[in-house]
């Protein structure tokens, strides 16, 4: 291949820039030039592209976000949008595309692949809900940001003998909440994968007080049926009966910002480099991720159908360690 393109799509994740850099420099090492697509699939549809040389990706490995910009692009979900994107790729003589993104973005990769265009995905989302990679770009950084915030809340919770609830990101997935909960020593964790009612949470907190704890931390995934807003409302309305209140913090997009951790920079370099090399060597229609600690390719058709599950042992461990 003499020319490929790279784009970042969906929610940005710390490490995307390191992956762009790896794609560009690995492709150049093979004699292939690279175009960067601005703002994800939207830029592919409108033809917003820019050449990327080795110096253009200098000094970005340590930056969060994505220098190419990202977007959620409903237009690309239509056939018309995808045909326009394909037209842009052909107009610029692009022979292959690297898509750095999560579930929605890789559904887009799959769609382009089905239209016979060579695409390789790079597993990237702070949610860690993408089938085909045990860990995705941005997860380590987001975990550490959420953990630092939770540790800070624990300090004030301890000083005031209070119960605090912290909501972390995770649209449909409790990976961040479960891991932050274990690492922060939470008394209760609420995730979409396990049904937990507000009364269950109240019971956990009450039990913790009975066991001699003076304060409590509850970590909730945003995608849970009872998210922070619903739990807060329940606890507020039942304050007298429950005998305690919950102070609520919603971390939100703070978790997606910040400089990528060393783990994310290294993962991004490995996955981005492999994606470019494999694409240029003729492999396409796959997602590049980490499986068994090694860089591995999973067909995009499998990625589109597969569902990543929470580790049940980790969930059990969280209950044991909360005692």
Of 71 and 280, which has the nearer Cβ to ligand F6P?
Answer: 71
Token representation of residue 33: 């030039």
Q: Which of 142, 234, 161 minimizes the C-alpha distance to 196?
A: 234
Q: How far is the CB of 223 from ligand F6P (least distance, A)?
A: 7
Of 192 and 285, which has the nearer Cβ to ligand F6P?
Answer: 192
Of 143 and 169, which has the nearer Cβ to ligand F6P?
Answer: 169
Q: Work out the angle between the directed axes of helices 175-184 and 139-160 (0-180°, nearest 10).
A: 50
Enumerate binding residues for ligand F6P (CB under 6 A): 11, 72, 102, 125-127, 169-171, 222, 256
- Residue 129 falls in the annotated catalytic set: no
**CA 30 to the chain's CA centroid:** 30
265 vs 143: CA distance, rounded Å: 15
140 vs 247: CA distance, rounded Å: 26
Of 118 and 121, which has the nearer Cβ to ligand F6P?
Answer: 121
Strand ranges of the sheet holding 246-250, from the earlier edge strand across to the other edge: 188-190, 216-221, 163-168, 246-250
Q: How far is the CB of 120 from ligand F6P (least distance, A)?
A: 20
Q: How far is the CB of 252 from ligand F6P (least distance, A)?
A: 9
Q: How far is the CB of 121 from ligand F6P (least distance, A)?
A: 15
Cβ distance 128 to 178 under 8 Å? no
Cβ distance 300 to 119 under 8 Å? yes
Token representation of residue 122: 């790079």
Catalytic residue among 127, 129, 140, 264, which?
A: 127
The residues assigned a catalytic role are: 127
């Amino acid at each position: 291949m003499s020319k490929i393109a790279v784009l970042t799509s969906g929610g940005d994740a710390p490490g995307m820039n390191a992956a762009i850099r790896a794609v560009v420099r690995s492709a150049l090492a093979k004699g292939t030039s690279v175009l960067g697509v601005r703002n994800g699939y939207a830029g592919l549809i409108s033809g917003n592209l820019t050449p990327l040389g080795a110096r253009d990706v200098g000094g970005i490995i340590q930056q969060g976000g994505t220098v190419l910009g990202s977007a959620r692009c409903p237009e690309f979900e239509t056939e018309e949008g995808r045909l326009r994107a394909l037209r842009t790729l052909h107009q610029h003589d692009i022979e292959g595309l690297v898509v750095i993104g999560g579930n929605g973005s890789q559904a887009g990769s799959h769609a382009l692949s089905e239209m016979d265009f060579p695409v390789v995905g790079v597993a990237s989302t702070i949610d860690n809900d993408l089938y085909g990679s045990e860990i995705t770009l941005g997860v380590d950084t987001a975990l550490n940001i959420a953990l630092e915030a939770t540790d800070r809340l624990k300090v004030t919770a301890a000083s005031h003998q209070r119960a605090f609830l912290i909501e972390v990101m995770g649209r449909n997935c409790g990976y961040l909440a479960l891991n932050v909960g274990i690492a922060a020593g939470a008394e209760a964790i609420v995730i979409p994968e396990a049904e937990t009612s507000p009364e269950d949470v109240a019971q956990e907190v009450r039990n913790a007080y009975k066991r001699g704890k003076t304060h409590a931390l509850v970590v909730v995934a945003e995608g849970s049926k009872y998210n922070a807003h619903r739990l807060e409302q329940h606890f507020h309305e039942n304050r007298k009966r429950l005998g305690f209140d919950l102070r609520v913090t919603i971390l939100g997009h703070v978790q997606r910002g910040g400089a990528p951790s060393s783990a994310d920079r290294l993962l991004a370099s490995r996955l981005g480099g492999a994606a470019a090399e494999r694409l240029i060597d003729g492999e396409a229609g796959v997602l590049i991720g980490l499986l068994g600690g090694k860089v591995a390719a999973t067909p995009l058709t499998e990625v589109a159908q597969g569902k990543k599950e929470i580790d049940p042992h980790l969930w059990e461990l969280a209950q044991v360690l909360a005692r």
